[in-house]
Amino acid sequence: MSINFQSKSEKVTTDVLIIGGGPSGLATAIHLADTLKKNGTSQRILLIEKGSAIGSHNMSGAVVKPDVFRELLPDVDFSEIPFNAQVSTDKTIMLKEDESISLPFHVPYMSNKGNYTASLGNLCRYLATKAQEKGVEIYTGFAVDEIMYRDGKVCGAKTKDTGVDHHGHPMDNFQAGNIIEAKVTILAEGTRGSLTKMLINKYNLAEGKNIQVYSLGCKELWSVPEGNIKPGEVYHTMGYPLGKDEFGGGFIYGLNDNKVAIGLVVGLDYIDPSFDVHDAMQIWKTTPFVSKILKGGKLVEYGAKTLPEGGWYALPKLYVDNALIVGDSAGFVTMPALKGIHLAMKSGMLAAQTVSEALMKNDTSEKILSKYEALIKESVIYKEMYPVRNFRQAMAKGMFVGGFHFATQLITGGAGFCGRLQSHADAETTSKLNEFKGKPFNQRFKNKLEFDKILTFDKATDIYHSGVFHDEQQVVHLQINDIKDFERVNIEQYGAIEQFLCSSEVYELHTNKDGKKELRIHAENCMHCKTCDIKSPGKGITWVVPNGGNGPDFQNM
Ligand SMILES: Cc1cc2nc3c(=O)[nH]c(=O)nc-3n(C[C@H](O)[C@H](O)[C@H](O)COP(=O)(O)OP(=O)(O)OC[C@H]3O[C@@H](n4cnc5c(N)ncnc54)[C@H](O)[C@@H]3O)c2cc1C
């Protein structure tokens, strides 16, 4: 029986509900189907994805560690997996405005020997086909906006009502969301998952953990003349245009067919309230090292996304009665390596193993599901994340002090000389306008902010290359939590920081005819990166899911 999404709300029942069709959700689905089959049973597995198609909301670098694919799909011929090129050159470049120095060594954890470049969208499309072959039901274009509870325990989720106007009133095309009852619900929503956030708050799952911190990555896919870069050439850059208080760097990944994926990833703990990651990436592209690779080329696609980088100490409790959290929603990323795909998939496989045992026992209580956390601690996830458990907190102290701390961590197995380092919420690290001591971003780079639309692009041009679309009629999905607080804090004290932190021009500062400043929200541009939910100061902004099928339409990101 398939799900019937009609105007009248329906109740659907399944054994397992997976929310999110990225690598973590798809690996969960595949491994669960396989494990159940091995145990001689079959149960209904349903996966819901908000993108209009699998892959349309998935963006990554990406250089991928391939072993997890062999483990997940042992019967598949490896050459069938749609990786791009095997890494052939792997260098770290120190950038200055007009110079570049190739480091003669690998920064620890940055080696990409044996890894492959890839488009995450392509990998997800492939994994979805494999999941469907194994009987997993995949529904795309449906956003899940509510977790359902019975007797205080998770019992499934609900898809979003559509066909409502700006005020939330039903229109002629109203469609009530469907209630999906499940024995187990798996949250695989990716970075800063909106349901995951609710679950963490409801059950206090982050108690005693470090605060999760994030980076924002802006990426462009280019087509370049033959010879500019070879498939498998991989470069990571440090330095310009980032200053000593900004953590991050650039990536350049050579792909087949004369394509190159480039991007700049910057920690959202920066302090300058006018810092702009999108514009910083454009400035980065003007350096001789990067511009030479792009010369004569053409922009193909653009996207932006955050990634969780708080590391081991920022992982929430991963299970409650009838529910588990996997992938970026939990925070499985090793930041020094800029890698999360293989960890997302491995966490999905371990969740699947736990859930299949729970279903066999007919007991999905948190006592049984706690095995998931135990499995994580015995896995490659722990092995990769624990030794760098203090890395990102150290880097928050600036590249120089942070670099020193990191060196001490390398010789002490990750402990450093100070033990567990704490983190601070990204929204709280920004300086108020009148307290910021440095040179604001637009003065630091005042001669570099005219974009030529050949090498460098304004946000409007880049957004056009993301295929982003949102229904005009719906409640705005970027919700200002307290308008008075917002005007006093965000606009007055921080100079409407949202207009700079958003890399898809959602927020515009407008002065009305009475001279009052207000923020206009162009929700239709939203790339679903969640930066505003993370970095807005004060009571801030809450990102909720818009209508299913809305958002970017990535092809090869
Ligand atoms: C700029 C950048 C570069 C990166 N480079 C690399 C790299 O080179 N190598 C590497 O290994 N990792 C890299 N990463 C990290 C990697 O991309 C992530 O760790 C990985 O994609 C996490 O997978 P996931 O399945 O948890 O989340 P995602 O890939 O984000 O997938 C989550 C899915 O859930 C869907 N979803 C979310 N909420 C809902 C909802 N409420 N209802 C329905 N569907 C929903 C989303 O649309 C999405 O498709 C990079 C990340 C970024 C941002």
Tens digits of residue pLDDT in 297-349: 999 999 999 999 999 999 999 999 999 999 999 999 998 899 999 999 999 99
Phi, psi of 407 (to 5 degrees): -60, -40
Q: What is the pLDDT of residues 340-399, one digit of tens each?
A: 999 999 999 999 999 999 999 999 999 999 999 999 999 999 999 999 998 888 888 776
Cis peptide leading into 316, omega within 30 of 0? no
Q: What is the pTM (predicted TM-score) of this model?
A: 0.97
In sequence order, which residues have a C-beta less than 8 Å from that of residue 73 and are 6 or more positions away? 30, 81, 130
CA distances to 184, 216, 537 from 477, in Å: 27, 20, 18
User: How far, in Å, is the centroid of ligand 1 from the Cα of 370?
Assistant: 24
Neighbour count for residue 226 (Cβ, 10 Å): 9
Pocket around ligand 1: residues whose beta carbon is below 6 Å from it? 19-25, 48-51, 57-58, 60-64, 120, 143-144, 188-191, 193-195, 217, 219, 263, 265, 305, 307, 327-329, 333, 338-342, 344, 545
Q: Is residue 250 within 8 Å of residue 285, measured between CB atoms?
A: no
Long-range contacts of 479-486 (CB under 8 A, 24+ apart): 479/541, 479/542, 479/543, 479/544, 480/519, 480/521, 480/541, 481/539, 481/540, 481/541, 481/542, 482/538, 482/539, 485/538, 485/539, 486/519, 486/538, 486/539, 486/540
Residue 141's region, left for phi above 0, alpha for psi from -120 to 50, else beta, is left
pLDDT exceeding 90 applies to what percent of the chain?
88
User: Looking at ligand 1, which atom is closest to the CA of residue 23?
Assistant: 25
User: Looking at ligand 1, which atom is closest to the CA of residue 26?
Assistant: 25
Q: Ligand 1 atom 38: the closest Cα is on which residue?
A: 189
User: Looking at ligand 1, which atom is closest to the CA of residue 328?
Assistant: 26
User: How far, in Å, is the centroid of ligand 1 from the Cα of 555?
Assistant: 15
E-strand spans in 108-178? 116-117, 137-140, 144-150, 153-159, 162-164, 170-175
Total residues found in the chain within this entry: 557
Enclosing H/E stretch for 509: strand 507-511
Q: How far apart are the first and last CA of the chain?
A: 33
Identity at 27, one-letter amino acid code: A
Q: What is the mean pLDDT of residues 164-180?
A: 94
Q: State how far the Cα of 528 lies from the Cα of 544, in Å rounded to an integer.
A: 9
Q: What is the pLDDT of residues 519-554, one digit of tens each?
A: 999 999 999 999 999 999 999 999 999 999 999 999
E-strand spans in 372-484? 478-480
Q: What is the mean pLDDT of the chain?
A: 95
Q: Ligand 1 atom 39: the closest Cα is on which residue?
A: 189
Q: State how far the Cα of 542 lies from the Cα of 466, in Å rounded to an integer.
A: 23
Q: Is 479 helix (H, G, I), strand (E, B) or coil?
A: strand
